[in-house]
């Protein structure tokens, strides 16, 4: 028995040395904090020209990093946008083209009841590479009204505090407190960290705090409410930035601020009133939604540029240029998974085929990678066009190079815009560019043929019974 001890001791020493080497290597990896706001409009930042709201902390990110003006999310609503971030895939590949709701609604819209935990997932890729992973804030990759849906921890997070998920709902304003505690813990453990900080603001209900209502006391109540939640969110983001400074982690941390879609707006004039949300509690309703579009067309729920073109500010001192505006590089939410994985030194599995591409060189101010494949969107648009919702008729969109084509569900109506001329979609060029329309329509139809007819896998609640409406083909 004693003769075996030296070899075993050697193995122990070797293993310990390997662990030390791994730990030292992990400590050199950059941290990643991805701040994903909810319904934050392009113009809801003082650095984007908001007329009365000051966002000094997000402005600080822009001053110390680069403000990218051509970032688009993968949908005009939250759940598909979040699916794209998590998977690097267009959400239509999972039959997720609307928000997760209660089971009958999901079934009626041919949607699953949650994003499959078996899908390729960003936090799991990073977790396997030695990252401490956490999620704090909104979830909405299922819904709190579906109690048997998987918890966020099943998606590759070591820690989480969330709402719009099964289980206990985290109070919305505890997001950054939990994030800071996780940063401190990971720092003490000398582990690189990845945090999804998916803040609630400025989604309804608007949960106001007296301190922030007082800041905007001279504004009419709906504007006061909206301004107060923007300001409160900005201050909490500032607390995270201050924590990174205090721990001397700023230079080794990539911080990105963005939004899941554009600003919400009532379809018709709506009186301000209180509402109750089953996940977040009581607050002010849609009458307080006063998001700023920055001149872009549309609102939340639309595939025009204000619905999907959202703020995207990236800071990584010494790596990303400070005080720069990039108005030409096209970045998509499906690019985030391959981008974050390259930043973290993660080699993606050979059988994983993202719809996005790594944008590390773009973030660093170098030549943007050539996007050879178009970007696609799928939603449930309303046709014919409603006077109260003139921008919500689009069911499909495709962007290739500088061209953007939007169509209704049966492709009986379409519009064509040149995005090189700007994000404002003022001039429909379909009559002048029929060859471009034909090309984009062909690409769109080919993509639609690759989509599944209905969701599959372990993505259905036990509440799906014979009385639940059958999926729409």
User: C-alpha angle 110/116/120, rounded to 5°?
Assistant: 125
Average pLDDT of span 291-304: 97
pLDDT band for position 4 (cuts 50, 70, 90): very low
CA 287 to chain centre: 24
CA 392 to chain centre: 20
The CATH class, in words, for 375-449 is alpha beta
Q: If 0-12 CB within 10 Å is exposed, 13-18 middle and 19+ buried, where does residue 136 land?
A: buried
The answer to whether 403 and 440 have CB atoms below 8 angstroms apart is yes
pLDDT band for position 251 (cuts 50, 70, 90): very high
The pLDDT tens digits of the residues spanning 72-115 come to: 999 999 999 999 999 999 999 999 999 999 999 999 999 999 99
Q: How far apart are CA 270 and CA 207, in angstroms?
A: 18
Find tokens 């924590």 and name the residue. 243
Residue 10 pLDDT greater than 90, yes or no: no
Average pLDDT of span 168-175: 98
- In sequence order, which residues have a C-beta less than 8 Å from that of residue 197 and are 6 or more positions away? 33, 34, 35, 36, 136, 137, 175, 176, 179, 240
Average pLDDT of span 44-67: 98
pLDDT recorded at residue 370: 87
The pLDDT tens digits of the residues spanning 332-367 come to: 999 999 999 999 999 999 999 999 999 999 999 998
Residues 430-440: b if buried by 16+ CB within 10 A, e if exposed: beebeebbebb
The structural domains of the chain, with segments of one domain joined by +, span 30-363, 375-449
Residue 147 pLDDT greater than 80, yes or no: yes
Find tokens 């001397």 and name the residue. 248
pLDDT recorded at residue 106: 97
Q: How far apart are CA 191 and CA 30, in angstroms?
A: 10
* Tally of CA atoms within 13 A in the half-sphere of 219 that contains its CB: 18
Give whole-number Cα distances, 77 to 40, 131, 286, in Å: 12, 29, 15
pLDDT recorded at residue 196: 98
Residues 385-407: b if buried by 16+ CB within 10 A, e if exposed: eeeebebbbbbbbbbbeebbbbb
End-to-end CA distance of the chain: 68
pTM for the structure as a whole: 0.93
Find tokens 């709190």 and name the residue. 144
pLDDT band for position 309 (cuts 50, 70, 90): very high
pLDDT recorded at residue 367: 84
Helix and strand counts by DSSP (H, E) for the chain:
12, 16
pLDDT band for position 22 (cuts 50, 70, 90): very low
The stretches of 247-366 forming alpha helices (DSSP H) are: 305-308, 336-343, 360-363
Q: How far apart are CA 390 and CA 381, in angstroms?
A: 11
CA 202 to chain centre: 14
Mean pLDDT check: name the lowest of 14-23, 73-82, 212-221.
14-23
pLDDT recorded at residue 368: 83
Residue 470 pLDDT greater than 90, yes or no: no
The pLDDT tens digits of the residues spanning 384-443 come to: 999 999 999 999 999 999 999 999 999 999 999 999 999 999 999 999 999 999 999 999
pLDDT recorded at residue 27: 57
Q: How far apart are CA 204 and CA 189, in angstroms?
A: 37
pLDDT recorded at residue 170: 98
Q: How far apart are CA 30 and CA 20, in angstroms?
A: 18
Residue 8 pLDDT greater than 80, yes or no: no
Residues 72-88: b if buried by 16+ CB within 10 A, e if exposed: bbbbbbbbbbbbbbbbb
Query: For 244-277, what is the HEC assignment?
Result: HHHCCCHHHEEEEEEECCCCCCCCCCCCCCEEEE
On the question of a cis peptide bond just before residue 384, with omega within 30 degrees of 0, the verdict is yes
- Whether 30-363 and 375-449 share one fold: the answer is no
| Biggest CA-to-CA distance, the chain | 88
pLDDT band for position 465 (cuts 50, 70, 90): confident
CA 344 to chain centre: 19
Mean pLDDT check: name the lowest of 196-205, 257-266, 457-466.
457-466
The answer to whether 153 and 136 have CB atoms below 8 angstroms apart is no
> What CATH number has the domain spanning 30-363?
3.40.720.10
Q: If 0-12 CB within 10 Å is exposed, 13-18 middle and 19+ buried, where does residue 344 land?
A: buried
The answer to whether 240 and 176 have CB atoms below 8 angstroms apart is yes
Q: What percent of the chain has pLDDT over 90?
A: 91
Residue 63 pLDDT greater than 50, yes or no: yes
The answer to whether 344 and 194 have CB atoms below 8 angstroms apart is yes
Residue 34 pLDDT greater than 60, yes or no: yes
Give whole-number Cα distances, 25 to 18, 341, 343, 452, in Å: 10, 16, 14, 41
């Amino acid at each position: 028995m004693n003769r075996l001890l030296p070899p075993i001791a050697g193995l122990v020493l070797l293993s310990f040395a390997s662990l030390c080497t791994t730990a030292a290597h992990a400590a050199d990896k950059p941290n990643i904090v991805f701040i994903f706001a909810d319904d934050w409009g392009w113009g809801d930042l003082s650095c984007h020209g908001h007329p009365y709201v000051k966002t000094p902390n997000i402005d600080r990110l822009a001053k110390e990093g680069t403000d990218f003006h051509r970032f688009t999310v993968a949908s005009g609503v939250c759940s598909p946008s979040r699916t794209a971030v998590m998977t690097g895939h267009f959400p239509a590949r999972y039959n997720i083209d609307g928000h997760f709701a209660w089971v009958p609604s999901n079934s009626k819209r041919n949607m699953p009841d949650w994003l499959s935990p078996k899908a390729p997932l960003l936090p799991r890729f990073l977790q396997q590479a030695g990252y401490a992973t956490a999620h704090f804030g909104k979830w909405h990759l299922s819904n709190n009204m579906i109690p048997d849906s998987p918890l966020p921890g099943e998606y590759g997070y070591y820690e989480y505090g969330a709402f719009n998920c099964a289980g206990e709902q985290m109070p919305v304003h505890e997001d950054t407190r939990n994030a800071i505690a996780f940063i401190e813990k990971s720092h003490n453990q000398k582990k690189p960290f990845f945090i999804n900080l998916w803040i609630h603001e400025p989604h309804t209900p608007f949960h106001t705090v007296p301190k922030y209502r007082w800041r905007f006391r001279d504004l009419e109540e709906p504007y006061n409410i909206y301004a107060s939640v923007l300001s409160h969110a900005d201050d909490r983001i500032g607390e995270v930035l201050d924590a990174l400074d205090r721990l001397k982690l700023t230079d080794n941390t990539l911080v990105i601020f963005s939004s899941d879609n554009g600003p919400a707006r009532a379809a018709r004039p709506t009186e301000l009133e209180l509402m109750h949300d089953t996940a977040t509690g009581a607050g002010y309703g849609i009458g307080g939604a006063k998001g700023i579009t920055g001149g872009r067309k549309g609102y939340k729920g639309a595939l025009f540029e204000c619905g999907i073109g959202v703020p995207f500010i990236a800071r990584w001192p010494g790596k990303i240029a400070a005080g720069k505006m990039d108005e030409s590089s096209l970045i998509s939410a499906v690019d985030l998974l391959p981008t974050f994985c390259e930043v973290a030194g993660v080699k993606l599995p050979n059988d994983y085929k993202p719809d996005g591409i790594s944008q590390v060189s773009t973030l660093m101010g170098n030549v943007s990678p050539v996007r050879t494949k178009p970007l696609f969107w799928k939603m449930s648009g309303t046709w014919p066009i409603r006077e109260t919702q003139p921008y919500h008729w689009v069911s499909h969109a495709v962007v290739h190079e500088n061209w953007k084509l939007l169509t209704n569900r049966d492709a009986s109506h379409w519009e064509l815009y040149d995005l090189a001329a700007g994000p404002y979609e003022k001039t429909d060029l379909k009559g002048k560019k029929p060859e471009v329309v034909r090309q984009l329509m062909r690409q769109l139809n080919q993509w639609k043929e690759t989509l599944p007819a209905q969701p599959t896998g372990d993505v259905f609640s036990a509440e799906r019974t014979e009385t639940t409406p059958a999926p729409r083909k």
